[in-house]
Amino acid sequence: MENSNNYKLALWPAVLHAKCPRCRRGNMFANSMYGFHGQTMNTTCSHCGLTFEREPGYFYVAMFVSYALNVAQMVTAAVAISILTGSDNPWVYVTIILALAVILSPFNFRYSRVALLYWLTPGLHYHPEMSQDKIN
Q: Binding string, 39-78, against Zn ion, x = CB under 5 A?
A: ------x-xx-x----------------------------
Segment near Zn ion (CB under 5 A); pick from 14-22, 31-39, 54-62, 71-79 = 14-22
Q: Which is nearer to Zn ion, 45 or 77 (CB)?
A: 45
Question: Could you tell me the sign of the dihedral formed by the alpha carbons of 107, 108, 112, 118, in that order?
Answer: positive
Q: Which is nearer to Zn ion, 20 or 116 (CB)?
A: 20
DSSP-derived 3-state class of residue 27: strand
Q: Which is nearer to Zn ion, 48 or 104 (CB)?
A: 48
Rg of the chain in Å (alpha carbons): 18
Residue-wise DSSP of 96-131: HHHHHHHHHHHHHHHHHHHHHHHHSSTT----GGGG
Q: Which residues bind Zn ion (CB under 5 A)?
A: 20, 22-23, 26, 45, 47-48, 50
